[in-house]
Structure formats: C-alpha cells, structure tokens
C-alpha cells in the first residue's frame, strides 16, 4: 500500500499560526534542544494550547521539573519555572502550591525521574490531593543519559544497561496512580496531538491531583519498542461506555497493557491539600 503523503509544515507558517492563536505567548525564546521527532515537541504544543484555551496568564503558571530530557521543559516556556533535582519535582511543586494556591502548577518529567529516583514522592502527592497537574512523559528509556533501561522499559528491550534484553517486569503507572488515590488519571499519546492537548486541558482544569500519562517516543534511543510505527497501531480509545467515576473499573482497564487505551480513566471531586490546610488553620484559630 502506498504511504499517505502528508502536507509539509513550514516554520514561518507554523509561527504565524501559533502567534495568531496566542500559543506563542507561552513559549520562551529558548528553542527546545530535543532531537527532531521527539514526542516532547507534541507535549509542548499541547501544554501551550491548553494554557491558551484556559486563559491562564503567564504570571500565574509555574512549570516544575526534575532532571532528564523531559525536565528541560521549563526553559522553553514563558512562565515561572523551577528545574529542581532529579526526582524531586513533586515536593518542590507541593511547596509552591501550598505557598500560593492561586497558581496553576504543572509538573513535567520522564519515567526515570518519576518512577525510579522520584518514585517515593508520587503516592504522597496523589493521596494528599495536591492541586497540581503531573505530566509524565513516558518514553520507556532514560533519554538524557543516552539510552539506559527505565522502570517502564518493556520486557525484551535491549539497551546499554540491558545488553541481553530487559528481564525486569515494567511498572504499570496508571494502576499505581489509581491505587495511590489520585483524583484524576488519564492517558494520552504524543502521536495524537489534538487529543493530547484536550487531555492536558482537562487535567489542568481538574481541581486536585491530576496525573496524565503521555506515551512519547524517544526517536534516538528506542528504535524497536515505543516507536511511532508501533504505537500508531497499538493505541486505542477507552471504551465509550467507560464510567470514569469508578476507580475499580479504571483499574481493570489499566491492567490491560497490551494495547494502551487513551482517555480519562478516573475522576473524582474531593478536598485538596490546601482545602484541608485551611480547615486545620480555621480549627486551630478557633481553639
């Protein structure tokens, strides 16, 4: 079958379109240093679209990251930013949100940053329902340090640290976040940019801890597994009849990893960490 010919995109036209839409206002003058084709470009586009659609002023947005290719993100955004330590973005973001609840706090990071060195922080941000959005860029590999196996690398993946294939069972981040008590859990794919932008918007709009798992190919260090070619045919939508108010049903769907399903798995409304702290302050003051 003949491959579908795609229209070329010229940078001048793209810039004019971004400027007209308002999205360019969220991009800094620092151009991303990511490899051409990296899924992270799609996520940057998605975040600027979401911030534009939600009309969040630049001065009210904060992007917090740890270390990794994904974590370079704050440099490329025209918003407040904090490039923290490897795996430590969530505690820093929690502090920012508690200090100023009016801010829109977005945490970005890779699967290594989030689930290896930083894995101990996720349950606590989730269960305490800190009102922040966590965009987890999952490429199933350590990109910045040149292609080592990560906690989400698939079985059989050959890397510099798994020369005889990866034998470690990968984590299931969606199942983990659902069991940790996250109040919003969804999944998107960098190869579906419009859906990704919609999901980022919904995640930011949610009041509480929102976790968006973004499948994002590393075109440089993964030529065999989480590639656009493989993912384009593997991803599917969540069943239309899925009820996102059922945590158990969301977990049942999240357990099916063979063909990753995109969409909103779970959502619930409950008091945030700042709500609870206001309550404690009010009670302490009254007593």
Contact residue for ligand SF4 among 18, 47, 212, 218 (CB under 6 A): 218
- Closer Cβ to ligand TPP, 144 or 274, answer by number: 144
Give dist(CA 215, CA 43) in Å, integer.
10
69 binds ligand TPP (CB under 6 A): yes
- Closer Cβ to ligand TPP, 144 or 261, answer by number: 144
E strands, 84-177, are 104-110, 133-138, 141-142, 148-149
Nearest-10 crossing angle of helices 173-180, 247-254: 160
151 binds ligand TPP (CB under 6 A): no
Contact residue for ligand TPP among 104, 149, 150, 166 (CB under 6 A): 150
| 119 close to 77: Cβ distance less than 8 angstroms | no
| 60 close to 78: Cβ distance less than 8 angstroms | no
143 binds ligand SF4 (CB under 6 A): yes
User: 58 Cβ partners below 8 Å, 6+ apart?
Assistant: 25, 26, 78, 79
The closest alpha carbon to 144, from 43, 18, 257, 34, belongs to 34
Q: How far is the CB of 253 from ligand SF4 (least distance, A)?
A: 27
In DSSP notation, 87-104 reads: T-HHHHHHHHHHH-TTSE
Give dist(CA 196, CA 262) in Å, integer.
9
- Closer Cβ to ligand TPP, 221 or 266, answer by number: 221
91 binds ligand SF4 (CB under 6 A): no
Kind of pairing, strands 133-138 and 80-83? unpaired
Dihedrals φ, ψ of 38, to 5°? -60, 140
Stretch that binds ligand SF4, among 49-57, 111-119, 195-203, 217-225 (CB under 6 A): 217-225
Q: Which of residues 96-115 bind ligand TPP (CB under 6 A)?
A: 109-113
- Computed on alpha carbons and rounded to an integer, the radius of gyration of the chain in Å comes to 19
162 binds ligand TPP (CB under 6 A): no
Per partner kind, with CB cut-offs from 5 to 8 A, the member of ligand SF4, ligand TPP, none near residue 118 is none
Per partner kind, with CB cut-offs from 5 to 8 A, the member of ligand SF4, ligand TPP, none near residue 220 is ligand SF4
- Closer Cβ to ligand TPP, 81 or 143, answer by number: 143
Q: How far is the CB of 39 from ligand SF4 (least distance, A)?
A: 7
Stretch that binds ligand TPP, among 46-54, 62-70, 174-182, 237-245 (CB under 6 A): 62-70
34 binds ligand TPP (CB under 6 A): no
DSSP secondary structure code for residue 116 in this structure:
I
Which residues sit at the interface with ligand SF4, rule CB under 6 A? Answer: 34-35, 38, 40, 69, 139, 143, 218-221
Which residues sit at the interface with ligand TPP, rule CB under 6 A? Answer: 67-70, 86, 109-113, 117, 137, 139, 141-145, 150
């Amino acid at each position: 079958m003949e491959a579908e010919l795609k229209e070329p995109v010229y940078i001048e036209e793209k810039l004019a379109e971004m400027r007209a839409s308002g999205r360019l206002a969220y991009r800094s003058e620092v151009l991303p240093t990511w490899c051409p084709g990296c899924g992270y470009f799609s996520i940057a586009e998605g975040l600027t679209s979401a911030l534009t659609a939600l009309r969040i002023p630049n001065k009210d947005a904060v992007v917090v990251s740890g270390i990794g290719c994904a974590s370079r993100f704050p440099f490329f955004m025209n918003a407040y930013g904090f490039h923290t330590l490897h795996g430590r973005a969530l505690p820093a973001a929690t502090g920012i949100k508690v200090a100023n609840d009016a801010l829109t706090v977005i945490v970005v990071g890779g699967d290594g940053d989030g689930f290896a060195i930083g894995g101990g922080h996720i349950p606590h941000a989730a269960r305490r329902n800190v009102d922040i959005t966590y965009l987890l860029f999952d490429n199933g590999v350590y990109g910045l340090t040149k292609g080592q196996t990560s906690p989400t690398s698939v079985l059989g993946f050959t890397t510099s640290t798994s020369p005889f294939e990866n034998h470690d069972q990968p984590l299931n981040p969606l199942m983990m976040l659902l069991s940790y008590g996250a109040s919003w859990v969804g999944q998107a794919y960098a190869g579906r940019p419009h859906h990704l932008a919609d999901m980022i918007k919904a995640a930011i709009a949610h009041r509480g801890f929102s976790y968006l798992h973004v499948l994002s190919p590393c075109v440089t260090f993964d030529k065999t597994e989480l590639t656009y070619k493989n993912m384009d045919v593997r991803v599917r939508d969540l069943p239309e009849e899925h009820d996102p108010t059922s945590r158990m049903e969301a977990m049942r769907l999240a357990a099916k990893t063979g063909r990753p399903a995109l969409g909103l798995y779970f959502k619930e409304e409950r008091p945030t960490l700042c709500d609870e702290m206001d309550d404690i302050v009010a009670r302490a003051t009254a007593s």
